[in-house]
Amino acid sequence: MALTIAGIEINPKFTPTHDPDFAAASLFERAYLELSAKLGSEPLVLSLERTGGSVSRFETVVIPPAAGYIEATLLRIERIVKFLLWQRGGHTVYCGGPAVIGSHLAAQYSPSGERAFDYEFMTGVYEQPFAVKSCTAAEAPQAKETGIALGRHLDGCRVGFDLGASDRKASAVIDGEAVFSEEVVWDPRNATDPEYHYQGVMDSIRRAASHLPRLDAVGGSAAGVYINNRPRVASLYRGVPKDQFEAKIAPMFERMGKELGVPFEVVNDGEVTALAGSMSLGENPVLGLAFGSSLAAGYVNREGNITGWLNELAFVPVDYRPGAPKDEWSGDGGCGVQYFNQVGANRISTEAGITYAEGQPLPERLVELQKLMAAGNEVAAEVYDTIGIMLGYGIAHYANFYDLKNILVLGRVTTGKGGDILLDTAHKVLQAEFPELAAQISVALPDEKSRRVGQSIAAASLPALKA
């Protein structure tokens, strides 16, 4: 079924059964670039500056405004900037190209623009007002990327934990071998008392540590942005008042490390997802995707290091249709959080006609969906097939921004037979629509146990032991 977005026609070979209006960003990008090759093009460079002077640079071309298709051009570049901000982060975006594009971006990403949430988020992360600056392509700053070694310490007796929005996982690890793993249900996003978070995490650590002869180190992963073990922005703590966040949540993990008296390190859960993939595969680069309560992502480059990027792919757009499902936090439409996690599984399954008890939490609804899948329910299989089609097109879009070779997909949504259908369908989409990518990218699921607790095991390797 052909779809027309801002005057650009896309013709997908696969239509998601239970979300047929899905307009894949990867197909829009391909169609736009094919059109620009016919009409003529001019260069456009986007440079994103972060704290410490590091810079990411993205080069592309646009159809000259005088040649028409300005609506499509403005949509495309705004969506690319949105992707880059949540993939790589930045306090300043330099738009090197036609002035009309820079002006549009500055208006959108302002305190009064449609992307006011993104403006405030980036301002908070980098602790300076976010800005978009227009320049020529030649004036756009050159790339200055950094790489940081992460984890891979397997010696000693360790605890690793992973904090999600519906459960917290913890593992006890001795010399790289897990001797105990468990999941505990909790509800952090609705908790207003910082002590709920502190006591919950410490309970998981102590329960895991009770299976060790001694405790040498603790490593953790959690959704959000973490700098030097301090949470800066994270939806897990959205219920905590701002003053209490700064006073109690920001130093929480430092407090834990002092109380336990061992090396303690916590990082974004996506980074640990990628680390787990790199450690299990033994090769790089690796993009890790965790389909849990949200979509966690992380990236390990060809050198085996993390990049200092945000990699918050829950907030990057993969669907360009007008009126696409909106993220409840940012208010933006078509972003990964509505497709590749429990939210997406619930949205698509209810649209498919599967009914759940009123008020039933998303994790319990996912369990019901997986029971239907295990029983051979055809509609449940179609739900996973729908998500798989979207993932195939999503991976093709990720390839426009990442150097990809290995993609590891894990998390609660991938548990059971549905995960296999999801992955098989994604492979079919890549092979039919993007054969060159299918030939160079390996997309895999870990084994069943690692799908659910692999992150907490990898997290245990984060801290180096004291000399």
Flag whether 4 is in a domain: no
pLDDT at 453: 45
Flag whether 247 is in a domain: yes
Flag whether 21 is in a domain: no
Same domain, 130 and 160: no
Same domain, 98 and 196: no
Flag whether 27 is in a domain: no
Same domain, 120 and 154: no
Same domain, 83 and 163: no
DSSP string covering 62-124: E--GGGS-HHHHHHHHHHHHHHHHHHH--SEEEEES-HHHHHHHHHHSSTTSTTHHHHHHHHH
pLDDT at 149: 83
Structural domain of 123: 40-139
Strands 167-174 and 295-300: unpaired
Of 110, 139, 168, the one marking the end of a domain is 139
Flag whether 219 is in a domain: yes
Of 82, 106, 139, the one marking the end of a domain is 139
Domain total of the chain: 2
Same domain, 170 and 83: no
Same domain, 171 and 273: yes
Strands 264-268 and 217-222: parallel
SS3 annotation, 314-349: HHCECECCCCCCECCCCCCECEHHHCCCHHHHHHHH
Same domain, 158 and 242: yes
Same domain, 464 and 377: yes
pLDDT at 452: 46
Contact 173, 460 (CB under 8 A): yes
Same domain, 351 and 311: yes
Contact 229, 257 (CB under 8 A): yes
Strands 406-410 and 177-185: unpaired
Give the residues of the chain that fall short of pLDDT 70: 447-455, 467
Over residues 242-253, the pLDDT tens digits come to 899 999 999 999
Question: Measured between alpha carbons, how far is 356 from 81 in angstroms, rounded to an integer?
Answer: 37
Same domain, 355 and 385: yes
Question: Measured between alpha carbons, how far is 24 from 12 in angstroms, rounded to an integer?
Answer: 8
CATH number of 167's domain: 3.30.420.40
Of 83, 118, 139, the one marking the end of a domain is 139
Same domain, 384 and 354: yes
Flag whether 5 is in a domain: no
Flag whether 91 is in a domain: yes
Flag whether 316 is in a domain: yes
Same domain, 132 and 172: no
